[in-house]
Structure 1
Amino acid sequence: MFLGPAPQDRLGRRRPRPAVEAPEPAPPAPAEPPKEEGVFGATVVHGFVRTEEGEPVADAVLTLLSPGGEQLDRVATLADGSYILSARPGGSYLLAAVSREYEPWTRHIAVGGEPLIHDLTLSPSEAASPSRPA
């Protein structure tokens, strides 16, 4: 690259050219954490508990159990029948629901790395039916 004649001072003497500095290199990109086998952290299982007629079931108790029977989380549904349980991602679990007026409910579920939506329907308990008062 040609920069032209060297600059001169008032007496006509040549002044040295200022050194041309190379631009600073960009900072290195942050290193990605190493990818490890398996999935770590936490995710959730959430949804609604409803009757066969589609009505919300409030105060049903849902429990998430590991294959070894360890209780991972336990919650009661809200007035709209909604629930949220914490879960470890990447596993198979047993989801159980109980309520005073409905038959107990259990299912095996598989949880991945993303939140799992799992709605469930409870059937009326025979013990609480009109023909058999509780």
Structure 2
Amino acid sequence: AAMHLLGKANWWLPAGLERRLPHLAVEPKEEPATVEPATGSEGGGPASVIHGFIRTADGEPVGDADVTLLTRGGRRLDRVTSLADGSYIVAVPAPGTYLLAATSPAHTSRARQVDVGEGPLVYDV
């Protein structure tokens, strides 16, 4: 039974890491394919993305902020952590109105309503 459990744990860990890789893959600029999902292409990828920067009122970048995309009904769709330069990118399933919440231990939480049309939306918090 121990071997079985270990096998399951090993299988699970890479899957958990993989979940975060699409967001990390945004940082190197050599791979534009990961940044701009093609709409209507093969696979059930997101319809679009929202990306931008989390900054303080003084314009300082906020790294390690939790950025969460929610439906208007409060269902969580995607959650990422902003990078050291404050940048973030979340996947949007379809055009519509969403709530974008940014929370950071050192700063006040902010939630904004965002309207997503066709194509990526640049949104700075």
Alignment identity in percent?
52
Q: Which runs of 4+ in 1 moved over 6 A?
A: none
Quote the RMSD (CA, aligned, Å): 1.4
Give, in whole Å, the separation in 2 of the partners of 1:49 and 1:41: 22
1:108 and 1:57 map into 2 onto residues whose CA distance is 20
What residue is the counterpart of 1:100 in the other structure?
Answer: 105
Partner of residue 24, structure 1: none
CA distance in 2, matches of 1:66, 1:101: 26
Matches within 5 A, 1:68-79: 68-79=73-84
Partner of 1:114: 119
Gaps of 5+ in 2: 1-44
- TM-score, normalised to structure 2, is 0.62
Count of paired positions: 81
Counterparts of 2:84 and 2:54, CA distance in 1: 10
1:108 & 1:46 partners in 2: Cα distance? 14
Who wins on radius of gyration, i.e. which is larger?
1
In the other structure, the counterpart of 1:49 is 54
Residue of structure 2 equivalent to 1:83: 88
Q: If the length of structure 1 is used for normalisation, what is the TM-score?
A: 0.58
**Structure 1: 5+ residue stretches without partners:** 1-39, 121-134
Q: Deviations over 1:74-104 (max 9, x none)?
A: 0000000000000023210011010001011
**Structure-1 residue corresponding to 2:72:** 67
Cα pair 1:67 1:92 within 8 Å, conserved: yes
Query: Is contact 1:89-1:114 (8 Å) kept?
Result: no
